[in-house]
Amino acid sequence: MTTRIGVLASGSGTNLQAILDAGLPVVVVVTDRPDVGALDRAAAAGIATVVVDRDQHLPDREAFTRAVTDALVANEVDLVAMAGFMTVLAEPIFEAFPNRVINTHPALLPSFKGWHAVEAALEAGVKVTGCTVHVATAEVDDGPILAQEAVRVLPGDTVETLHERIKDVERELYIRTIREILERGSVQ
Ligand code: GRF
C-alpha cells in the first residue's frame, strides 16, 4: 500500500486536524455537506476538498456513495479514514476499497453502536466507555476492531464533557492506528 489517505468528515473536524497535524499523508477531504469546519481545516492545510452534498443525493444512498467513491478514486486514494462522517455509506465504497476503509467510533464496540453512542453509554450507567478504531463495512459500526482505548465516566459527566474526553483519547488512538497501518502496509 502506498500512502494516499482520503478523509471523510462531516463536522468540526478535530480528528481530521489531528491527522493533518501528525503529518499523515492526506490527499483529499470529502464532506457530505457544505459549511463544515472540516472543509476550512483542509483548505487551511492546502488539502484538496470535495463536497458530495447528501441533500442532493439522498435517499439514493448508492448514488451518494458512488459520488464519494469517485472523488476518492480520482485522487488516487488507497486508504479511506472516516472521521466523524455522518452519512451511512453503501456497498460501492467497500467494493472499490476492500478492507481499506477505517472508522473511529466514540464507544467501546460492539457496545453502543450508532449516532448517539456517548449518550447511550451515559444512559446505561457504564463506569467505563471509550473509543474504537475499526475496519468499516456496509454494516454500521461493525467490522474488525483494530484498536480500543478506555475512558472513565466521571460523576456529573454530560454528553458534552464525556464526548470531549473521549475525543482527546480518540484522536491519539486514530493517529497511532493509522501510523501502524502505514508501517504495516495493510489495514490488518
Ligand atoms: C468523533 O467522536 C467520532 O468518533 C464521531 O464524531 C466525532 C467527530 O468529531 N463519529 P470531529 O468532527 O472529528 O471533531
Which of 140, 8, 139 has its CA nearest to residue 85? 8
From the CA of 170, how far away is ligand 1's center (Å)? 9
Mean pLDDT of 103-111: 98
Q: Which atom of ligand 1 is nearest to the CA of 10?
A: 12
The per-residue b/e assignment along 125-143, b for 16 or more CB within 10 angstroms, e otherwise, is ebeebbbbbbbbbbeebeb
84 alpha carbon – ligand 1 mean position (Å): 4
Q: Which of 67, 20, 12, 18 minimizes the C-alpha distance to 40? A: 12
What integer pLDDT is reported at residue 3 of this predicted model?
86
Is residue 65 within 8 A of residue 88, CB to CB? The reply is no
User: Would the CB of 37 count as within 6 Å of ligand 1?
Assistant: no
Q: Which pLDDT value is given to residue 1?
A: 54
| Alpha carbons 179 and 187: distance in angstroms, whole number | 10
Q: What is the pLDDT of residue 137?
A: 97
Is the shortest distance between the CB of 13 and ligand 1 below 6 Å?
yes
Q: Which atom of ligand 1 is nearest to the CA of 83?
A: 13
Residue 41 has pLDDT above 70, yes or no: yes
> Is residue 116 flagged as an active site residue?
no
Q: How many residues does the chain have?
A: 188
* Nearest residue (CA) to ligand 1, atom 5: 84
Q: Which of 152, 143, 163 is nearest to 15 (CA)?
A: 163
| Arithmetic mean of pLDDT over the chain | 97
Q: What percent of the chain has pLDDT over 90?
A: 98
